[in-house]
Chain A
Amino acid sequence: MVDKLNDDIGEEKRLQLWEMMLKLRLVEKKAYDLFLQNLIKGTSHLALGQEAIAGAFGVALKKGDYTFCTYRGHAHTLARGSSIEGVLGELMGRQCGLMKGKGGSMHLTDVDKGVMGSYAIIGAHLTIANGTALASKYNKTNEVSVCFFGDGTTNIGAFHEALNMAKIWNLPIVFVCENNLYMEYTPIHEVTAVEHPAADRAGAYDLDKIIVDGNDADEMLRTAEKAISKAREGKGPSLIEAKTYRHSGHSRADPGKYRPDEEVKDWMENKDPIKNYRSKLLDFNINEKIISEIEEKIKDQVEKATEISMASPIPEIKEIYTDVWANGGSEWHN
């Protein structure tokens, strides 16, 4: 039952979150369509089903804050306000892409929006995110750094090094473990000593044990806002474990057959963050017309961005030799 009188979130922010999540969902679906048409090459890791996490942080963060995500990072990039054509264009290897085809799906970066990169070697970016947080502390500015990663990432050394360092230096950072129950093809519980891969390790670094339903957008937003405020007020790092599920396989080539049908069905039908949020908006008496208008608007944006990306030229071959060095070139001898 919803408590409309004590609503701490409010209609405006809910609609913002709705629009955000919907955008992440529809762009990701479009990316999938474009693969099927072979317009997107290489690999790709969709975050379908996990939108509430990136979406909530997208709403909660301010301009100037830093985010770091993984190869499964289209959603996290869009959530900071990067353009849809920037993302789809990069996936398609076009000049309109965020990095003009130099990075690809696994490395989306948009510094103007605070998207400090998407990282494809498990764990590395937790240590790097500490660095932007350290810079905020060093410069006495109040940006917050947020680092997203998966459940499987809690078993690599960099995770532990990064948490310890963040704690001893009281860094303004939020670590967000998106526990989608699988590391690639292996159930996380089969390869992890504790039940909750992130939260059960928090105590080792004197951090609170935080577990949240990552598919409940409102709860996710509250959790995100709390951790971000804590960091911004100089009260140090947080580690959040958000339970979620990916609707598609690990990556492009993966049909996800290692997951029991019943489990997939349950998450798709009963725990879909977007479907559930739509009903919640209605429970809060938000006019269905407004909800549908947002849907139409986003669909339209995605279609337009797709057209822009498809019309965008492919990169020039000379780009191979640019931007190794800050002087713009790649020369290594005189």
Chain B
Amino acid sequence: MAQLTYRASVSLAIAQSMRKDQKVFFIGEDVGAAGGVFKATVGLLEEFGKERVMDAPISEQAILGAAMGAAMTGLRPIAEIMFSDFLAVCWDIVANQIAKTRYMSDGQINIPLVIRTANGGGSKFGAQHSQSLENWSMMIPGLKVVAPSCPSDVLGLMDSAVKDPDPVIFYEHKSLYAFKEEIEQTDLSIPIGEANTLHEGKDITIIGLALMAQRAKDAALILKDKHDINAKVIDLRSLVPLDLHTIKKSVIETGHVMTVEENPRLCGWGAEISSLISEHCFKNLKGPVTRVTTPHVPLPSADILEDNTIPSVELIVNEVIKKLKGE
């Protein structure tokens, strides 16, 4: 048994994929010699050399374009976009090119690539280095969207993402890089599209992703200990494909649902889930689906402001109590 951080699991996951398949290479800014701005890719250059670990210029379009072109020939690139916010400068390559080329070419072209990117708040970096952008990519047909919440999921989901014949955006949460887990075996593989239950319960279904899944789990522990509420916490792990089956099963049991989202309110992923639940489980619902999100504002920077913008464990606890007990 070894303790592994989320950060270390990223470099290990990439290394494991690169050891298994010569077709896998890694490209990004400051990823090689520097080991990444979050130190999540330390050691890769040393192990695999410059041919497979490429330090790129500050050219997000060129990075993703090169990854896409290489993937079109059958290579399996992993490309890093340093902060997910920077996806905005190469969104054409992501949303128009990578996502649509398979369809437009009538299936002549596959694009088996992974875009990994540091996502989410908690670091007080302000509105342009802290966003939770999973929903941006969720709304584009042709992109798979993965967001692991713990080191073992990083390992297992990265393995699947690299092997996946379709493009996968892999959102790593900045505030989880220091998260530790005891891991027995590191060579894991977790299918993309299978949600994970982080806490069992029959009173309410709380649905989260990445950091919000962990916070929902912490909230569930408090709800159980102090308020006699048993919450089932579903960590979606991926938005596309979405494990609707697991959601439905739990909603049928609990009748109460809450999504916990780090993104601003409008068009957050929870809106789609809420809509699916009302379509599929309307008769099982004992009340409206509640969405806990950040307010619809750009993320502020100061400690107190950021902390009160992103849903906290305390907020989740309070919202659940309010919902179930009307307090």
A→B interface (CB under 8 Å): 66, 98-100, 102-103, 107, 109-111, 116-117, 119, 121, 123-136, 138-139, 145, 157-158, 161-162, 164-165, 168-169, 322-328, 330-334
Contacts and interface: CB of A to CB of B under 8 A. Distances in A.
Contacts, number: 162
Contact of A330 (B64, B74, B141): B141
B105 interface: yes
Contacts of B142: 324-325
Contacts of B165: 325-327
A131 B72 contact: yes
B244 interface: yes
B69 A130 contact: yes
Interface residues of B, number: 49
Contacts of B326: none
B1 interface: no
A165 B62 contact: yes
8 contacts: A102-B104, A109-B106, A111-B109, A117-B101, A128-B69, A132-B69, A165-B57, A326-B165
A322 B61 contact: no
B69 A109 contact: no
B65 A333 contact: no
B241 interface: yes
B110 interface: yes
A111 B109 CA distance: 7
Given A134-B66, A332-B240, A124 B92 contact: yes
Contacts of A328: 107
A107 B73 contact: no
A334 B59 contact: no
A162 B60 CA distance: 10
Which secondary structure dominates where chain B touches chain A? mixed
Nearest to A120: B96
A145 B74 CA distance: 15
Contacts of B112: 326
List of 10 A-B pairs having minimum Cβ-Cβ separation, nearest first: A131-B69, A127-B65, A326-B165, A161-B62, A161-B59, A99-B106, A323-B107, A333-B242, A135-B73, A109-B105
A110 B105 CA distance: 8
Nearest to B56: A165
Given A116-B109, A164-B57, A333 B66 contact: no
Given A99-B105, A107-B105, A129 B69 contact: yes
B108 interface: yes
B25 interface: yes
A327 B62 CA distance: 28
B72 A110 contact: no
A164 B66 CA distance: 12
B243 interface: yes
A127 B66 contact: yes
Nearest to B73: A135
A237 to B, nearest CB: 13
Nearest to B60: A161
B122 interface: no
A168 B57 contact: yes
Interface string B233-251: 0000000111111000000
Nearest to A171: B66
B69 A323 contact: no
